[in-house]
């Protein structure tokens, strides 16, 4: 069988020839790639020369390029364009790749060479990037069992293999439950309050399913507008409960036992490596450094946010009773009531904003902003083979030369998981430019309208593009330190800082243009958007903190004692919520960030990075949001550097100081002006 995954890609920019890649290609290609990589590593191990940075660390860095490429293709497709067959392949591939990683990390002779270099190399002759790579590789081996005895190493292999499979199963279960549900409405009066484009999308979906009426799903572009605008309270309840049941039903997709297994195995793995808990293991390689510091960080924000959140909740309860006849707010009411309250307080209706945010114009404006900041230009290309017909590929150029490829994938479909993310198909390194992708789930164009974004979707697009810039603008020697290969609580800085431009009139003028008239969004709307940015920041902060606390609780030293996921979740977050718990719902069983993604013991990093981005953007506000000197400094010290040095070193080089935690509280309006004045003195 001819297998394109066993060859170099003879394509423009060595891009993946997706149309030629078949599901059955992956396992043979991965097995062969693993054999090749092990042969390459064996060459490093058998080198008779005295171990050095060049013949050991650099040589190791250059091993396994084929397996890295092919595994990225598999798991990226499994998230964005999966099928039953591809999921089976991913399940088969996971233990193969885990075993391969363990074959490297538990190779005693290879570790001896690295240990020798770590102890004997003349560090004065190494660059900061080389020193970082040396430390990262040495610690990577130690943190993956290099110092363990043979029995413990074998146990580690077993744990890692099982964890890889459990993580895949978790994601498959959530996707299956998400796609198994639909709310079929046949009476037009049941659509009261819903925006026209939401109804039109639901009607088109019903037609596709050969049903009369309208169909709503648990995909965000369908679910969120329904929960925000539907005046039919019982249907909101029905949809909300269905969403909360994902992974928590009496079926084969129930994730409760999967979570308990993952949590216990992570704890066991950490203790095997000499750490008290999985959180301690993870945070040893984070800016936050320890569970105690994270707990203190969360507690500090919670203390500041809770009084504001209580006032906001009381206001919402009073408003709901007096204006909407709701005497007890339930979780299926909050988005609906909050939107009505926001309209009343700010005279701001999201549906009036959406015509000013057609996806094509927002994307063009985003490109313009990035060009003004960092000198990047984007050109749509049809020469690149996309992995799905709706995917649009752009060539990024800098100084008129090729700099990167970016795949854009914006609409929900079967086989694509919910949410939004950035990923990489090829990383950057010396003499190699990256291929990155941003994946979102925005409202599709309808028969009468283009894809119109909510303001929250606009910020989501800017957020993911910030991640993409971290990859596109990377300029490092080694791929292992490139782009988003940074401490996890630093990785959100480039993404979250980009969201700030969404609130600035000078930036909005570039993209917020009515899809029919091309008129720029009125200043009064901009003023309302900025005022509304403080709306319910206390409640929103508590919500994010509750996820952070819950994540930490699943990974602290007591995690292995958890015997009921639902009970544990309720105990952890009840004090941070104002709605009554729904017994048939469980958030944890669909908490993909920590049980499928890479945020285990790291969900706090969203808020941590918000502190960084709020503090960093204050410099842009001071100098000008398009100030070339500030943008160049951010590019040179943050975006291009990846993980080549400690993130605090890079941040201080850009900002001139450590971040001020109160910058986030100032931006969110959670501390009074008097406190601001004291802080500034």
Active site residues: 464
C-alpha–C-alpha distance, residues 367 and 632, integer Å: 17
Q: Name the residue among 76, 44, 38, 30 with its Cα closest to residue 423.
A: 76
Task: Give the chain's largest Cα–Cα span.
Answer: 82
CA angle in degrees (0–180, nearest 5) for 239-461-585: 25
Instruction: Assign 3-class secondary structure to 538-555.
Output: HHHHHHHHHHHHHHHHCC
Q: Name the residue among 260, 280, 272, 221 with its Cα closest to residue 562.
A: 260
Residues 6+ apart with CB under 8 A from 91: 165, 168, 169
CA angle in degrees (0–180, nearest 5) for 580-582-585: 140
Counting DSSP H helices and E strands in the chain, the numbers are 28, 7
**What does the block give as tokens for 567?**
């009970």
- The CA-to-CA distance between both ends of the chain, in Å, stands at 71
**8 A C-beta contact, residue 604 and residue 489:** yes
Dihedral sign, Cα of residue 570, residue 576, residue 582, residue 588: negative
At 525 the three-state DSSP class reads: helix
- C-alpha separations of 561 from 159, 271, 558 in Å: 18, 14, 6
Residues 6+ apart with CB under 8 A from 637: 650, 651, 653, 654
For residue 133, count other CB atoms closer than 10 A to its CB. Answer: 24
C-alpha–C-alpha distance, residues 259 and 280, integer Å: 19
Q: Beta strands 183-185 and 392-398: pairing type?
A: unpaired
């Amino acid at each position: 069988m001819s297998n394109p995954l066993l060859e170099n890609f003879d394509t423009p920019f060595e891009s993946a020839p997706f149309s030629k890649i078949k599901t059955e290609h992956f396992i043979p290609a991965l097995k062969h790639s693993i054999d090749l990589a092990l042969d390459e590593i064996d060459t490093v191990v058998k080198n008779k020369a005295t171990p050095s940075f060049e013949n050991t660390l650099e040589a190791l860095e250059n091993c396994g390029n084929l397996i890295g490429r092919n595994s990225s293709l598999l798991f990226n497709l499994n998230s964005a364009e999966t099928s039953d067959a591809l999921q089976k392949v991913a399940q088969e591939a996971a233990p193969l790749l885990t075993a391969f990683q363990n074959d490297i990390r538990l190779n005693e002779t290879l570790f001896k060479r690295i240990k020798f270099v770590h102890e004997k190399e003349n560090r004065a002759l190494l660059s900061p990037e080389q020193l970082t790579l040396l430390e990262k590789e040495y610690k990577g081996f130690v943190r993956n069992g290099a110092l363990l005895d043979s029995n413990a190493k074998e146990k580690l292999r077993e744990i890692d293999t099982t964890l890889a499979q459990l993580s895949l199963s978790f994601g498959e279960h959530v996707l299956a439950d998400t796609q198994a549900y639909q709310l079929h409405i046949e009476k037009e009066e049941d659509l009261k309050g819903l925006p026209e484009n939401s109804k039109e999308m639901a009607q088109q979906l019903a037609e596709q399913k050969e049903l009369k009426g309208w169909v709503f799903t648990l995909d965000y572009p369908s679910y969120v507008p329904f929960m925000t605008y539907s005046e039919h309270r019982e249907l909101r309840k029905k949809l909300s409960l269905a969403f909360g049941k994902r992974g928590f039903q009496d079926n084969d997709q129930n994730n409760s036992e999967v979570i308990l297994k993952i949590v216990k195995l992570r704890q066991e793995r950490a203790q095997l490596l000499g750490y008290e808990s999985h959180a301690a293991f993870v945070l040893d390689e984070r800016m936050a450094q320890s569970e105690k510091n994270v707990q203190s960080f969360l507690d500090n924000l919670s203390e500041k946010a809770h009084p504001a959140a209580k006032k906001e909740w009381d206001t919402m309860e009073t408003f709901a009773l007096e204006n909407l006849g709701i005497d007890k707010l339930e979780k299926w009411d909050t988005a609906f009531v909050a939107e009505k309250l926001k309209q009343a307080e700010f005279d701001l209706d999201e549906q009036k904003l959406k015509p000013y945010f057609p996806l094509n114009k927002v994307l063009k404006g985003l490109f313009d902003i990035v060009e003004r900041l960092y000198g990047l230009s984007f050109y749509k290309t049809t020469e690149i083979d996309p992995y799905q017909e709706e995917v649009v590929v752009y060539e990024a150029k800098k100084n008129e030369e090729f700099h990167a490829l970016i795949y854009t994938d914006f609409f929900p479909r079967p086989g694509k998981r919910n949410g939004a993310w950035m990923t990489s198909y090829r990383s950057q390194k010396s003499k190699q430019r990256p291929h990155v992708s941003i994946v979102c789930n925005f409202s599709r164009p309808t028969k009468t309208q283009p894809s119109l974004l909510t303001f929250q979707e606009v910020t989501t697009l800017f957020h993911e593009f910030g991640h993409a810039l971290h990859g596109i603008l990377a300029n490092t020697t080694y791929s292992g330190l490139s782009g988003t290969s940074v401490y996890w609580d630093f990785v959100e800085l480039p993404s979250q800082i980009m969201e700030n431009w969404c609130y600035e009139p000078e930036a909005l003028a570039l993209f917020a243009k009515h899809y029919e008239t091309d008129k720029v969004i009125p200043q009064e709307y901009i003023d309302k958007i900025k005022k509304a940015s403080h709306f319910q920041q206390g409640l929103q902060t508590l919500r994010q903190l509750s996820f952070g606390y819950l994540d930490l609780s699943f990974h602290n030293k007591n995690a292995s004692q958890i015997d009921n996921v639902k009970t544990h979740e309720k105990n952890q977050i009840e004090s941070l919520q104002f709605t009554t718990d729904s017994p048939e719902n469980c958030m944890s069983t669909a908490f993909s960030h920590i049980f499928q993604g890479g945020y285990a013991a790291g969900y706090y990093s969203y808020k941590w990075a918000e502190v960084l981005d709020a503090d960093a953007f204050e410099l842009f506000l001071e100098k000008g949001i398009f100030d070339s000197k500030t943008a160049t400094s951010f590019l040179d010290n943050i975006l291009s550097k990846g993980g080549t040095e400690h993130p605090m070193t890079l941040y201080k080089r850009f900002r001139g100081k450590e971040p001020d935690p109160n910058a986030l509280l100032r931006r969110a309006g959670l501390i009074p002006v008097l406190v601001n004045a004291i802080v500034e003195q």
